[in-house]
Amino acid sequence: MARSAATRHKQLALAAAIIGSGVGMLDSSIVNIALPTIQRDLGGGLAAQQWVVNAYLLTLGSLILVGGSLEDVFGARRVFSLGVGGFGTISVLCGLAPSIAALVAFRALQGVAGALLVPSSLALIVAVFPEPERGRAVGTWTAFTTVAIVIAPLLGGGLLAVGSWRLIFFVNVPLVVLCIALIRAAVAPNDVEQLPRRRIDIPGALACVLGLGGVVFALIEQPRLGWSSAGVIVPLVAGVASLAAFVQLERRGRDPMLPSALFARPNFSAANVETLVVYAGLSVLVFFLTLYLQQVAGYAPIASGLALLPVTFLMFFGSRAVGALSAKYGARFFMSVGPLTGAVGLVLLLRVGASASYLTDVLPAIVAFGVGLTLTVAPLTATVLDSVSPSEAGIASAVNNAVARVAGLVATAAAGSVLAARFAGSLHARLHGVALNAPARKAVIAAEQLTLGRPPLHGLSAPIARAISHAATLASVATFHFAMLIAACLLALGGVVGAAAIRSPGASRSARRDRGSEAVEQRIGMHEVHPDG
């Protein structure tokens, strides 16, 4: 009977970990799909859309290593409960946001809760399940959390079809309530491992948040304020200075959240550089493809969300086999060919026009990209884990996870700045010689703020409205193509790094195979391949 009760508690704890991490993945995917709808309701243009995504990624990417440190101090159960409860509470605030500024602020708070939630879901499983049972439990967690990625476009598109975008945040509440009830029923405080106490790296966390925040703020606001504005120069300089201080703090701190000694390992450094550029390219693709399909090509939210679904299926069904092959033959080949294959897929998106056929224009490119990502992800994470000792595997995985989040944050901000300038130049070039009255000039300014899409043209004469609409459409197509070139170059750079810098690790083949399987499980779940980022 006691054994049956223990088994039941483990199953309930596993269900709590699945639901908690699933909520985070569900929210990330749905928010991307809802961006055009949010923009139409609350306004703000491209910059606001970037902030809705990047405010979350900023705090999540900056604090995720701190979240891992908190588990050492307070235990996985307590930190996971706090993360889940905070995520649900702030989701309600997001759904009630009266303005775009309020929504961005609440999304930043949601990222803080996510920094507690993301690393502690797997830690809860590690704490509850003994080692012989842990592999199967993590495999179950991976399978079910991946389902959240698959159903997110369907759920998000359905909610947007029947009601307000606010529903995408409210849907988190019942899941959070259920998750907390499961935690309280299944996991006692003394079920959590007693780990060595570590100090929380508060100075490092503050320097990281201020550094990333200053740089990202400057990049997002530059198209509106200009490079000469104090509102851009001051945060940019302060951000760079804070990042320099962060590096020094992590080098000298007693318990740094980013152990600099890890980067002395060549494979660890090379794999994280590849993570940076590959996930930067992935983030540019996801952010701008979703906007383009809705705002230019006229796709419904559910259709734009489903556009990347083949990537999820390819990763889900192919990553384990790729992990085994890379363990047998070495990761270098896969970490070279994979990103280059993904880059080819993104180049294929240059065929997409204003009226994009999914089957002939979008799907072949997405499949090629998905194949490339599938070839890359498991070998990449296995290389990170192979390059450190078993006792360092947790922090190495957390560092790699944080690198991926920061890559998405900086990439969407930097690409948005470049693309906004390119769109404005293309739009004005196409309207050269067209006489624009005051309402027409106002419509052009609205188009510049939107960057991808057609501005409202109410009250304009038919010839002027047609001219602005045509120019905005052509400028949007050209800007989207440039975005895909940026993403393709980032992935291709990742392939070059893999070919030039990755060396076969010295671990045995069997050890690499075991770690490759673990890498697939961690990466599919924790990196949210259909993201935030």
Per the domain annotation, does 184 fall within a domain? yes
Verify that 395 and 495 share a domain, yes or no. yes
For the cut 90, the answer to whether the pLDDT of residue 425 exceeds it is yes
Whole-prediction pTM value? 0.80
Query: What pLDDT, in 10s, does the model give residues 470-513?
Result: 999 999 999 999 999 999 999 999 999 999 998 865 444 444 44
Residue 530 has a pLDDT of 43
Verify that 366 and 391 share a domain, yes or no. yes
Per the domain annotation, does 452 fall within a domain? no
Per the domain annotation, does 401 fall within a domain? yes
What is the 3-class SS of 435-504, one letter each residue? CCCHHHHHHHHHHHHHCCCCCCCCCCCHHHHHHHHHHHHHHHHHHHHHHHHHHHHHHHHHHHHHHHHCCC
Verify that 276 and 328 share a domain, yes or no. yes
368: domain CATH number?
A: 1.20.1250.20
Per the domain annotation, does 50 fall within a domain? yes
Residue 76 makes CB contacts below 8 A (sequence gap 6+) with 120, 123, 124, 126, 127, 192, 193
Verify that 248 and 286 share a domain, yes or no. no
Residue 405 makes CB contacts below 8 A (sequence gap 6+) with 57, 60, 61, 64, 532, 533
Mean of pLDDT values over 381-404: 75
Residue 465 makes CB contacts below 8 A (sequence gap 6+) with 457
Per the domain annotation, does 428 fall within a domain? no
For the cut 60, the answer to whether the pLDDT of residue 522 exceeds it is no
Verify that 130 and 115 share a domain, yes or no. yes
Per the domain annotation, does 273 fall within a domain? yes
Q: How many Å apart are CA 260 and CA 214, to the nearest integer? A: 23
Residue 23 makes CB contacts below 8 A (sequence gap 6+) with 84, 87, 88, 117, 148, 172, 175, 176, 179
With contact defined as beta carbons under 8 Å apart, do 75 and 81 qualify? no
Residue given tokens 């998750």 in the structure block = 179
Verify that 230 and 294 share a domain, yes or no. no
Handedness of CA 78, 80, 86, 89 (dihedral sign): negative
For the cut 50, the answer to whether the pLDDT of residue 449 exceeds it is yes
Query: What pLDDT, in 10s, does the model give residues 256-299?
Result: 777 777 888 899 999 999 999 999 999 899 889 989 999 999 99
Verify that 38 and 182 share a domain, yes or no. yes
Q: What angle do CA 65, 68, 73 make, to 5 degrees?
A: 130
Verify that 399 and 362 share a domain, yes or no. yes
Last residue of a domain, one of 193, 215, 230: 193
217 is written with which tokens? Answer: 């703020």
- Give me the domain span that covers residue 133: 1-193
Per the domain annotation, does 459 fall within a domain? no
Q: How many Å apart are CA 283 and CA 464, to the nearest integer? A: 36
With contact defined as beta carbons under 8 Å apart, do 315 and 529 qualify? yes
For the cut 90, the answer to whether the pLDDT of residue 177 exceeds it is yes
Query: What pLDDT, in 10s, does the model give residues 87-96?
Result: 999 999 999 9
Per the domain annotation, does 376 fall within a domain? yes
Verify that 406 and 300 share a domain, yes or no. yes
Verify that 309 and 352 share a domain, yes or no. yes
Verify that 188 and 329 share a domain, yes or no. no
Query: What pLDDT, in 10s, does the model give residues 1-21?
Result: 455 767 787 888 888 888 887
DSSP single-letter state for residue 196:
P
Alpha-carbon distances of 478 from 46, 61, 415, 481, rounded to whole Å: 16, 31, 14, 5
With contact defined as beta carbons under 8 Å apart, do 179 and 23 qualify? yes
Q: How many Å apart are CA 363 and CA 286, to the nearest integer? A: 14
Q: What angle do CA 114, 405, 228 make, to 5 degrees?
A: 110
Q: How many Å apart are CA 274 and CA 262, to the nearest integer? A: 16
Domain count, the chain: 3
Verify that 166 and 218 share a domain, yes or no. no
